[in-house]
A and B are shown apart, each in its own frame.
Chain A
Amino acid sequence: MKHKSISYAKWGYIFIVPFFVAFILFNLIPLVSTFYNSLFENYMGRGGMVQVGPNFIGLDNYKTMFDPKTELGKYFGNTFILWILGFIPQIFFSLLFASWFTDLRMKLKTGAYKVIFYLPNVIMAAAMGMLFYTMFAQNGPINSIYTTITHAESPYMFFDHVWSQRGVIAIINFMMWYGNTTIMLMAAINGVDPSLYESAQIDGATPSQTFWKITLPLIRPILLYVLITSLIGGLQMYDVPQIITRNGEQVQRTSMTVVMYLQKHLYSKNYGMAGALSVILFVVAAVLSLMVFYATTEREPKKKVKKGGIK
């Protein structure tokens, strides 16, 4: 059989050609070109009137990027804050709901809940941003409720304050992703050997003991996977804050994320700086990706011992 498959090897190469041609043309060449551009001074001076460069300037763009005046740290900080504000409730409620949905004793009817919880995820982030903007606006429904309950004289301006603006963005991110995480964690919990739960039940374990002592340790690899992929997704955060904060300019750029900052440079054709920022972003993403890679391949030997032949 081994001998036979060797004679078909050329088909393997033929079938992967489209994938790799597309990858090289639209991913690899642009990536290399981005790296190359980061070494040049190249921007539109005098308010977009004069093209400056491209002149080779070595690593000067990076020096400018890491200059405290550029405030790159602030944008990474904003991105991290916006991510963690959404992620903490997301992982908390997803774990809670996943453990309820898989609880053998409660036997909840889960179908409709799963569908509804996941629904916000398929909605355009730009449209979600728009909807929430109008919901939290001066005369939106949230403010009608707020003024009715508190008898406040004027509505609360959610988008004029640092933390309320960040809070709205975090709520949107939470709503878009908790359904997805719940379903993934459910699948992980369903993968746990049911006899463990049965014996815990026989031994008289309470639901919270079962959760902390059995479920949590056994789904740790998936939790790690969810954490890191969410972090990578968070790093790319763009649509929602872009729509909510009017291109990030509102409240002294306290909700401007790294990718929004990159987009700003791209849009104003400041290619040198955009290039340097892309490379920095690439390095951060690559480190995180390596973490995913090791986190997921580490548990593979346990699972795939039976199938060993694949590798």
Chain B
Amino acid sequence: MAAPVDAVGEMSNSQQLRMRRIFSYVILTLFAAISLFPFFILIVNMTRDTHAIQKGFSLLPGSYLIKNFNTVIKNHDWKMLNSLKNSLIISGLTALLSTYFSALTAYAIHVYDFRLKKFLFTFILMIMMVPNQVSALGFVKQMSSWGLTNSFIPLIIPSIAAPATFFFMKQYMDSALPLEIVEAARIDGSGEFRTFNELVTPILKPAIAVQAIFTFVSSWNNFFIPALILDDKNKRTLPIVIGIIRSADFAKFDMGAVYMAVGISIIPVAIVFLILSKFIIRGIALGAVKG
């Protein structure tokens, strides 16, 4: 029944519909271009030298890519490679710990019945939105009294308690982890901890992947807390180096090298994002529907 009516509706509007489609595509393409423009400028300027950059912008790349790269690598104030390594260690471990322990906590709330369960669940939901800047003062003082200034521990271990990741995992389990599976594992004589590690984590893989990416990216980009904890030149993460380049009078620097430094900090994440974008976009949508 619906089909013919639908067809008539479409027939009478086909001209209008085509105009709407063209209009939409034009606007969307314009926004895509605006979104990509800064990256385009970045990539072009990574290949140019200071004089060319200061003369004005160009759409054509130059021939200084390798030279700019070497300048950045050799700069002993920035220690770019070292910062890249620090950022990788911190973000990698953060993603690993945060997803594993959030899944474990969500599993506890999902599977077991215990007296504090309801209270703890509500409690985690309540603290989810409180920004971590509000406890930054106490955090910095506490870490320095524990002798953890310039250590990576205060940047990695706290991620074990990640309320937002927990919440996502819990929602995922509600839809994808029937309790019968756990019951069946018990009957087969599997211990509780082993059941979680060997049976449940594979089921949670999609959720773990999405949250691992999000956690990795937000740790990689984190600026506020690391800037307060790390001041040793050898311990800096990438955002701190970018902040340092910016707060110095960087116009005096080799601009090609400045662009190269920015490029080194963002291109790895951009590539990972492009490869895994399907996963990520599905993850955001899932969070929206459930959240």
Residues of A within 8 A of B (CB): 1-2, 4-6, 8-16, 18-23, 25-27, 29-37, 93, 97, 100, 105-106, 108, 112-120, 122-135, 137, 139-141, 144, 175, 179-180, 183-188, 190-191, 198, 201-202, 204, 207, 222, 225, 229, 232, 235-236, 238-239, 242-243, 246-247, 259, 262-263, 266-267, 271, 274-275, 278-279, 281-282, 285-286, 288-289, 292-293, 296, 307, 310-311
Residues from chain B with Cβ under 8 Å of A282 in the complex: 130, 134
| Cβ contact within 8 Å between A12 and B127 | no
The majority secondary structure among interface residues of chain B is helix
Known: A13-B114, A120-B35, A296-B291. A310 touches B101 (CB 8 A): no
Interface residues on chain B, number (Cβ under 8 Å) = 106
Which one of B36-44, B62-70, B71-79, B201-209 is at the interface?
B36-44
In the complex, A186 Cα to B288 Cα: how many Å?
A: 9
| Cβ contact within 8 Å between A20 and B161 | yes
Residues from chain A with Cβ under 8 Å of B42 in the complex: 131
Residues from chain A with Cβ under 8 Å of B9 in the complex: 201-202, 204
| Cβ contact within 8 Å between A285 and B243 | no
CB < 8 Å A-B pair total? 309
| Cβ contact within 8 Å between A124 and B242 | yes
In the complex, A275 Cα to B221 Cα: how many Å?
A: 25
Considering residues A10, A12, A188, which has the most beta carbons from chain B within 10 angstroms of its beta carbon?
Answer: A12
Residues from chain A with Cβ under 8 Å of B154 in the complex: 26
| Cβ contact within 8 Å between B223 and A187 | no
| Cβ contact within 8 Å between B140 and A106 | no
| Cβ contact within 8 Å between A278 and B41 | no
- Name 24 A/B residue pairs within 8 A (Cβ), A-sorted: A8-B112, A12-B117, A15-B107, A18-B160, A19-B102, A26-B139, A27-B158, A105-B17, A106-B24, A118-B273, A119-B39, A119-B274, A122-B269, A124-B238, A126-B242, A126-B246, A127-B266, A128-B38, A134-B255, A144-B57, A191-B289, A235-B131, A236-B131, A281-B134
In the complex, A238 Cα to B228 Cα: how many Å?
A: 13
B142 at the interface (CB under 8 A from A): yes
| Cβ contact within 8 Å between A12 and B114 | yes
Residues from chain B with Cβ under 8 Å of A267 in the complex: 228
Interface string of B249-276 (1 = CB under 8 A from A): 0010001001100100110011001100
Known: A115-B281, A135-B38, A184-B285. A262 touches B133 (CB 8 A): yes
Known: A15-B104, A19-B166, A202-B2. A32 touches B35 (CB 8 A): no
| Cβ contact within 8 Å between B102 and A289 | no
Known: A120-B35, A296-B291. A238 touches B133 (CB 8 A): yes
Contact of B129 among A25, A139, A229, A246 (CB under 8 A): A229
In the complex, A259 Cα to B193 Cα: how many Å?
A: 42
Known: A19-B101, A262-B133, A288-B129. A119 touches B223 (CB 8 A): no
Contact of A131 among B158, B245, B262 (CB under 8 A): B262
| Cβ contact within 8 Å between A126 and B120 | no
| Cβ contact within 8 Å between A27 and B161 | yes
* Chain B: CB-nearest residue to A96: B27
| Cβ contact within 8 Å between B38 and A131 | yes
Interface string of B141-175 (1 = CB under 8 A from A): 11000000000001001111100001000000010
Residues from chain A with Cβ under 8 Å of B118 in the complex: 311
Residues of B within 8 A of A (CB): 2, 5-6, 9-10, 13, 17, 20-21, 24-25, 28, 31-32, 34-36, 38-39, 41-42, 45, 54-57, 101-102, 104-105, 107-109, 111-118, 120, 125-142, 154, 157-161, 166, 174, 183, 192-193, 196, 217, 220-221, 223-224, 228, 238-239, 242-243, 245-247, 251, 255, 258-259, 262, 265-266, 269-270, 273-274, 277, 280-281, 284-289, 291
